[in-house]
Amino acid sequence: MAKRIIFIHGRATKPLKDDLRELWYDAVKSGLKRDHGQPSVDLFDSITKDFVYYGDISNEFLHENNGEKFLMIF
């Protein structure tokens, strides 16, 4: 079975998709390199990654509601 990592952010206001993805991937690589060396970073780079982003939707919702938190039921 192929390796795959799925990244999903939380509900608070988020930066743009590409900026957030770069921050997360860099943070993961830094931790891997610190704790396990460069081979772990190379493995991370070779694994398929999915970055689920809905920050544009949640940012708009929070802005329209003055940052108040609401329970969103789907």
With b meaning 16 or more CB within 10 Å and e meaning fewer, what string describes 34-66?
A: eeeeeebbeebeeeeeebebebeebeebbeeee
- pTM confidence score: 0.77
Per-residue pLDDT of the chain (74 residues; tens, 9 = 90+): 678 999 999 888 899 999 999 999 999 999 999 999 999 999 999 999 999 999 888 888 888 887 565 565 55
Per-residue model confidence (pLDDT) at position 62: 82
Who's near 13: CB < 8 A, 6+ residues apart?
55, 58, 59, 62, 67
